[in-house]
Structure 1
Amino acid sequence: MSSQSVPPVLAEVTGGLGRLTLNRPAAINALTAEMVGILRRTLADWSETDRVRAVLIDGAGPRGLCAGGDLRAMHADAVSGGTGSLDFWADEYRLNAEIAGYPKPVVAFMDGLVMGGGIGVSAHASLRVVTERSRLAMPEVGIGFHPDVGGSWLLSRAPGEIGTHLALTGGTIGAADAILAGLADVFVPSAHLPALAAALQTADAAGTVASFAAAPPPGDFPGSRTWIDECYPGDDVAAIIDRLAASAAPGAQAAAKEIATKSPTSLVVTLRSIRSAAGLANLREALDREYRLSAMLLRLPDLAEGIRAQIIDKDRRPRWQPPTLAEVAPTPQP
């Protein structure tokens, strides 16, 4: 079989379980428009049949569930004025909402790397499983973007200021911290995932997942909650950085330095987005707002520059416009 004939999403029904496997392991299963379309159509079909009692979403290969969206395609649109990204986001965000509102249990195996769009196809599921290999992140501020795919909704509802910390640093967290942040539900050792998938074919999803749950390795948040909650309140990114830098906690000082490397425009937009999402009524409202933010940021210079620095040229030296928080002009409310 040629590489072009390998489907990017594998869909099969065994017993009462419909299994959707993202199948681009060489790209850590990064999402394409074709993949989003397959996921939406299959979920719609399975919602209408009694044959499927529950759905499992996982990723092919050992590296992760999903590393996000196709940043090279996004870069091409950003530099050319194209509209493909707008169409992709519209479809992707509909998928996120459909997963959240799905009428049957959706189990997501958040094994390995789960970033950006990978959060969108898993963290809105009804039963979210992390492992010792899980590494979750919403790193969009590092490429001139913002936490989308419902990220503003999820992060705004994390305990204390954990969500603000994750949004502004773009930091990566493991299983225990993902559960504490509300991005995942249970820990299952990765070696047990095949047995869990097999059990889901014939048994109740919630009870089966609970029967495989174990205690995760310790995370970082229990020791850092004090300075996170002290430093991140408010609507002023510069004030947050100042509080972090002045803190006696080494983790806070490291966070200040990390945030200072991100797109100033993205930081301002992201903090406003997180604060606004806290007052919205539901995920769909947050996704609608995120879409308007995405469309705005697509036409600003930092998105193309951020992807260039991280993905295209890989020099890791983005030249943000404007380069400082003080120079970021007020942006209209989307």
Structure 2
Amino acid sequence: MNDDEPVLLHTAGRVLHITLNRPRALNALTHTMVRGIDEALTRAAGDDDVTAVVIAGSGDRGLCAGGDIRSIYEDARAGRRASVDFWRDEYRLNARIAGFPKPYVALMDGIVMGGGVGISAHGDVRVVTERSRVAMPETGIGFVPDVGGTRLLAGAPGELGTHLALTGRAVGAADAVLCGLADHFVPSHRLTELTAALSRCATPTEVTDTVRRFTTEAPEGELAGQRGWIDECYAADTVEEVIDRLLDSGLPAAKEAVTTLQAVSPTALKVTLAALRRARHLTSLEAVLDQEFRVSCRAFDGPDLVEGVRARIVDKDRNPRWSPAEPGDVTPADVARYFEPLGDQELGLSAH
């Protein structure tokens, strides 16, 4: 095992451990990492000596902060299409994780955002800690939730997922469980002990029973007590009406949400709302990933993704110049174009 590798693999007992190994970059995913994880899962699925897979992040800051956003920015600025190839393989990996035939245990400690959600929240055993901060923050960079995130958030109770998708807000352990992004709370100081215990498991049932044995009640979250205004405001049919309802509520938390919504990409907001509504009517993760691939490709060709990454990651001036600048200037036809078929470039997961 080479500690310089971006993905470390080792087997302990009958458990394959996958460790993302870019701690200085918050374990952000590269194309090489996606391919490495996919190849490891392909081998593990057919290996009778492997009972389960555990995925974790190196360092103590998080599992994964998402895709390598700066690389996507540089790719778009240079007129290349490597990011499209990255998404194609990343979304296929998300589908593979969801359908993995053995227990897939994701240790969602620390920061878990964007692509980090994609490699964890589709697993069947998802563990959060008191340090977990889980989010799909794409609208803030002019992008739209992907990696199956629109399916996950569309399935959250009431309109909680809409709130999280549009604002990009990060949630802690209890709220992640409430929204269906995680299953189990384990205090972070017990993760090493849990990992060792998992390595002694010989059957899938032992794996799931072991995680349950370590599970305790998470510290109280915030969203359960905010369902009233969130469900009322975000049930609106348009972004403009959502903002109006939030303002009319008079609640400080709703006003804070408006401040966030007014700062992010208007196009991303409208496309995200449409993607969530559409995802509720799609029957499989594969169909949602096909839809997200279309949206991601359209966003890659638009102005707001490059501008959003410039303002937040590159220049860090926090002053993006969105185009269009106001939600009212983003027409239904503009939104509809994001969902148009890509012809022979389709991801095509739902066709299989």
**Aligned twin of 2:322:** 320
**Aligned twin of 2:251:** 249
1:155-212 deviation line (CA, Å, top 9, x unaligned): 0000000000000000010000000000000100000001111111122111010000
- Unpaired runs of 5+ residues, structure 2, are 341-352
Separation of aligned partners in 1, 2:257 and 2:132:
21
**Aligned twin of 1:52:** 50
Instruction: Indicate which of 185, 199, 202 corresponds to 1:201.
Output: 199
Paired residues for 1:180-329 under 5 Å: 180-203=178-201, 204-329=206-331
**Contact 1:235 1:275 survives alignment (8 Å):** no
**Aligned twin of 2:133:** 135
Bigger mean CA deviation after superposition, 144-153 or 202-211: 202-211
**Aligned twin of 2:21:** 23
1:250 CA displacement: 1.2
**Contact 1:134 1:175 survives alignment (8 Å):** yes
Q: TM-score by structure 1 length?
A: 0.98
Question: Which one-letter code corresponds to 1:184 in the other structure?
Answer: A
- Unpaired runs of 5+ residues, structure 1, are none
Paired residues for 1:52-91 under 5 Å: 52-91=50-89
Separation of aligned partners in 2, 1:141 and 1:78:
17
Question: Which one-letter code corresponds to 2:6 in the other structure?
Answer: P
Separation of aligned partners in 1, 2:44 and 2:163:
37
Question: Which one-letter code corresponds to 1:298 in the other structure?
Answer: F
Separation of aligned partners in 1, 2:229 and 2:81:
42
1:328 CA displacement: 1.0
Separation of aligned partners in 2, 1:281 and 1:271:
18
Separation of aligned partners in 2, 1:137 and 1:317:
22
1:258 CA displacement: 0.9
1:35 CA displacement: 0.3
**Secondary structure in structure 2 of the residue aligned to 1:30:** coil
Instruction: Indicate which of 93, 99, 102 corresponds to 1:101.
Output: 99
Separation of aligned partners in 1, 2:150 and 2:157:
14
1:5 CA displacement: 7.0
Separation of aligned partners in 2, 1:87 and 1:235:
33
Bigger mean CA deviation after superposition, 87-96 or 252-261: 252-261
Q: C-alpha root-mean-square deviation of aligned residues, in Å?
A: 1.2
Question: Which one-letter code corresponds to 1:214 in the other structure?
Answer: T
1:78 CA displacement: 1.9
Question: Which one-letter code corresponds to 1:245 in the other structure?
Answer: L
Separation of aligned partners in 2, 1:231 and 1:304:
30
**Contact 1:81 1:299 survives alignment (8 Å):** no
**Secondary structure in structure 1 of the residue aligned to 2:123:** coil
**Aligned twin of 2:343:** none
**Aligned twin of 1:112:** 110
User: Percent same amino acid among aligned pairs?
Assistant: 54
**Secondary structure in structure 2 of the residue aligned to 1:172:** coil
Instruction: Indicate which of 145, 160, 176 corresponds to 1:162.
Output: 160
**Contact 1:246 1:253 survives alignment (8 Å):** no
Residue 37 (structure 1) aligned with residue 30 (structure 2): no
Separation of aligned partners in 2, 1:27 and 1:80:
22
Separation of aligned partners in 1, 2:308 and 2:237:
24
Question: Which one-letter code corresponds to 1:167 in the other structure?
Answer: A
Question: Which one-letter code corresponds to 1:128 in the other structure?
Answer: R
Separation of aligned partners in 2, 1:5 and 1:107:
22
**Contact 1:77 1:85 survives alignment (8 Å):** yes
Separation of aligned partners in 2, 1:5 and 1:111:
21
Separation of aligned partners in 1, 2:99 and 2:46:
14
1:53 CA displacement: 0.1
1:80 CA displacement: 2.2
**Aligned twin of 1:153:** 151
1:234 CA displacement: 3.0
**Contact 1:134 1:174 survives alignment (8 Å):** yes
Separation of aligned partners in 2, 1:80 and 1:239:
38
1:79 CA displacement: 1.8
1:248 CA displacement: 2.6
1:300 CA displacement: 0.5
1:232-276 deviation line (CA, Å, top 9, x unaligned): 013300100110011132111111111111100000100000000
1:76 CA displacement: 1.3
Equivalent pairs, count: 332
Q: TM-score by structure 2 length?
A: 0.93
